[in-house]
Amino acid sequence: MNIFANKKIISNDHTPLFSIVIPTRDRPRLTEDLIASILIQNFTDFELIISDNSTNNDTQELLNKIDDHRVINYRTGNLTMADNWESGIEQCSGLYLLLFSDKMVLKQYSLEYLADYITKYSPSCINWNIDSFFDKELTYFKNRSVKKIAKIDTTSILKEILNSEFDSVKLPCHCNSAISMSVIKSIKSMTGRVCMQLNPDYTLAYQVLLHIDEIHDLGHSLSILRYPSLKLGYGNGTSFMKKKGQSKKFMQDNSDWIVRTDKYDDVRMQSNNFGLDLILKDFYSILEKYKLNADIFLNQDQRHINYYVYTYLEIIFRVNMGVNMDKELKLWKHSLSNEDLKIIGPVYKVTRKFIFRFLYIRVKRILLRNSAVASLVHLLGDNIFRNHAQVFNSIEDCLDNVKITQNFK
């Protein structure tokens, strides 16, 4: 996609409908594809702010070639992830914030669809689903949970977070939401910033949920999240789940956060071995800033029960990924054994249903150590996946063929 031949369209004194912020760091190839998917939109009333926190000049060399007045090249550098996200948001002058991770692309006609919807309903926040694209396999996987447009009560989402059973796509995070700038300003007036350590996306989402009564859920996908391959993901989340070096460095760089959040006793294991730990600790820190007691959403016993259930399911999930979780399982059992019987009983009642699933996964992992078996299983898995996916020549080819055609009217 050619992103270097666009003419200047909007003057500096214009208030655009959308402020699109792309926080990025050392991923110029992904950033280029995302920018291209935005600049080819037929809807033009937006500003595009790239908050470049890179350690080299590769992204700057890319941006300096783009001649489009809508593109704002904001160079930061040496900031934490949360500070870089916040710095990009500080530059916004539009009416709605769209915060896009550099590992995604936007489907054609998405901005026009959103603009029409906003004109008709003036929502405080809009959410949509996310499809997937796997770069190595060049496969596109459509999110199957398509449903009708709905208004979702934010209290129900907050309760699901505390219950440890939430779907992250429901949260107004990066890649999948348009948030009224009036909400952003209200958040800033209360806490000073919208994106906080450790997870800028989740802390933004939590605060939005606490400031509005409902979210407009479009029920279908406007954006596509990219993965390096079927087995890998871009970013810290996948690295954390797989216990890779990138996440270890990230946690070391945020050692102050670990010390500060170890006080949240509702996170029953204070070792940060689980992805759920990081998500919940940030949520409890936001509730503390808002002077809210979690009991108003969900009683403590139920929070603790579900915490153990979903950390157990996380162990199973990561074992299935090929990660050694023996230490975490031992920690889980030890921690649960010290709980009151009113917690232990319900937890075992649920988790014992997954014992055979756990054993099956362990046996499967042992069998996969045999290279011939592993090759056969991967071949079968790839064929099953491809039966539910579309194969394209490139991400550009995918965007040319996957466009927004739904009409909400």
Residues 249-283: tens digit of each pLDDT = 889 989 999 999 999 999 999 889 999 999 999 99
The pLDDT, as a whole number, for residue 42 is 95
Query: Per the structure, how many domains does the chain have?
Result: 2
- Confirm whether 11 is domain-assigned: no
How far, rounded to the nearest angstrom, does the alpha carbon of residue 349 sit from its chain's CA centroid? 31
In this structure, the answer to whether residues 253 and 218 fall within a common structural domain is no
Average pLDDT, integer, range 142-160: 89
What CATH number has the domain bearing residue 149?
Answer: 3.90.550.10
- In terms of pLDDT, which residue wins out, 186 or 143? 186
Residues 356-368: tens digit of each pLDDT = 888 888 787 777 6
- In terms of pLDDT, which residue wins out, 224 or 388? 224
Residues 14-57: tens digit of each pLDDT = 899 999 999 999 999 999 999 999 999 999 999 999 999 999 99
For residue 48, give the nearest of 29, 30, 85, 21 by alpha carbon: 21
Confidence band for 5, pLDDT divided at 50, 70 and 90: very low
* pLDDT for residue 409 is more than 70: no
Q: What percent of the chain has pLDDT over 90?
A: 77
In this structure, the answer to whether residues 179 and 36 fall within a common structural domain is yes
Residue 337: burial class (beta carbons within 10 Å; 0-12, 13-18, 19+):
exposed
Average pLDDT, integer, range 184-194: 97
Distances (CA, A) of 127 to 117, 180, 312, 366: 12, 12, 29, 41
CA distance 354 to 351: 5
In this structure, the answer to whether residues 310 and 397 fall within a common structural domain is no
The pLDDT, as a whole number, for residue 232 is 85
Judged by average pLDDT, the poorest of 19-28, 145-154, 214-223, 306-315 is 145-154
The pLDDT, as a whole number, for residue 180 is 98
Confidence band for 147, pLDDT divided at 50, 70 and 90: confident
Residues 377-404: tens digit of each pLDDT = 566 656 655 667 899 999 999 999 999 9
CA distance 168 to 183: 20
- Confirm whether 408 is domain-assigned: no
CA distance 288 to 291: 5
Average pLDDT, integer, range 127-140: 95
In this structure, the answer to whether residues 227 and 337 fall within a common structural domain is no
Q: What is the mean pLDDT of the chain?
A: 91
- Confirm whether 307 is domain-assigned: yes
In this structure, the answer to whether residues 205 and 244 fall within a common structural domain is no
Measured in residues, the chain has a length of 409
The pLDDT, as a whole number, for residue 12 is 56
In this structure, the answer to whether residues 268 and 220 fall within a common structural domain is no
In this structure, the answer to whether residues 216 and 283 fall within a common structural domain is no
Residues 227-249: tens digit of each pLDDT = 999 888 888 888 899 998 888 88
The pLDDT, as a whole number, for residue 10 is 40
Residue 403: burial class (beta carbons within 10 Å; 0-12, 13-18, 19+):
exposed
Range of the domain at 242: 236-367
- Confirm whether 137 is domain-assigned: yes
Query: 360-373: string of b/e by CB count within 10 Å (b at 16+)?
Result: ebeeeeeeeeeeee
* pLDDT for residue 199 is more than 90: yes
DSSP, collapsed to helix, strand or coil, labels residue 127 as: strand
Rounded to two decimals, the pTM is 0.92
CA distance 379 to 277: 35
Is 214 within 8 Å of 153 (Cβ atoms)? yes
In this structure, the answer to whether residues 221 and 75 fall within a common structural domain is yes
The pLDDT, as a whole number, for residue 189 is 97
Q: What is the DSSP string of 349-379?
A: HHHGGGHHHHHHHHHHHHHTTSHHHHHHHHH
In this structure, the answer to whether residues 27 and 173 fall within a common structural domain is yes
* pLDDT for residue 168 is more than 90: no
- The vertex-154 CA angle with 151 and 155, nearest 5°, equals 130
Distances (CA, A) of 39 to 22, 101, 112, 189: 13, 16, 13, 32
Confidence band for 11, pLDDT divided at 50, 70 and 90: very low
DSSP3 helix / strand / coil % (the chain, rounded to 5):
50, 15, 35
